[in-house]
Chain A
Amino acid sequence: NAGVTQTPKFQVLKTGQSMTLQCAQDMNHEYMSWYRQDPGMGLRLIHYSVGAGITDQGEVPNGYNVSRSTTEDFPLRLLSAAPSQTSVYFCASSSPQMAGNEQFFGPGTRLTVL
């Protein structure tokens, strides 16, 4: 049981490039979320999904795109990278079927945009 996995661990992009951060979970969790963590700002919600085919925006969705075609995967797409998107990105999953809907986090992707 690998839990929540994220790839890549590190990435450097140039301004204007696009890329996809991958997130997968093998716990059959319905809910998945993406957060970014910035110094002094804490973790902020980007997008989330309550099931395959359903996504919604969080606090800071601009510049990011998501889709949820399977229960296991929830990729985060940067459409045209900007230096302001330099951050550490965390993916999380949970199930309302479990007591408390506890969220489990992946190890993170550290992204630098030059």
Chain B
Amino acid sequence: KQEVTQIPAALSVPEGENLVLNCSFTDSAIYNLQWFRQDPGKGLTSLLLIQSSQREQTSGRLNASLDKSSGRSTLYIAASQPGDSATYLCAVSGNTPLVFGKGTRLSVIA
């Protein structure tokens, strides 16, 4: 059974810092990996999708990497801003739809 773990569970950083969120998964037979953002009481916004054949994807200040063989992904956020404060969720798909990690709650302090 696929399991997804996100470390740390919570993170607080000062504005302007670069930071890395970690995601690991137990079964490397994945089809893709998605990173989502969720604001309190809101739905999920897709940030980046990495297909199993890809190593990384970039969107603005966000960069996500994927190492299938080691079962790891990282989300790098450059020059963090207070508006980046949210919960970040990692999810992988394989034979079934997405299996989610429990998320990392990020606070960026001005």
Binding site for B on A (CB under 8 A): 31, 33, 35, 40-45, 48, 56, 58, 90, 92, 94, 99-108
Contact = CB atoms under 8 A, between A and B. Distances in A.
Contacts of A48: 96-97
B47 to A, nearest CB: 11
Which 6 residue pairs across A and B have the least CB separation, nearest first?
A: A42-B102, A43-B100, A105-B44, A33-B97, A107-B43, A100-B51
B97 A58 contact: yes
10 contacts: A43-B91, A43-B100, A58-B97, A102-B32, A103-B34, A103-B46, A103-B91, A105-B36, A105-B46, A108-B42
Given A58-B96, A94-B97, A106-B43, 19 more contacts: A33-B97, A41-B102, A42-B100, A42-B102, A43-B98, A45-B98, A90-B43, A90-B44, A92-B97, A99-B51, A100-B32, A100-B50, A102-B46, A103-B91, A103-B93, A103-B97, A105-B36, A105-B44, A107-B43
Contacts of B97: 31, 33, 45, 48, 58, 92, 94, 103
B96 A45 contact: yes
B43 A108 contact: yes
Nearest to B9: A40
Contacts of B44: 90, 105
A55 B44 CA distance: 23
B109 interface: no
Contacts of B51: 99-100
B77 interface: no
Nearest to B97: A33
Contacts of A42: 89, 100-103
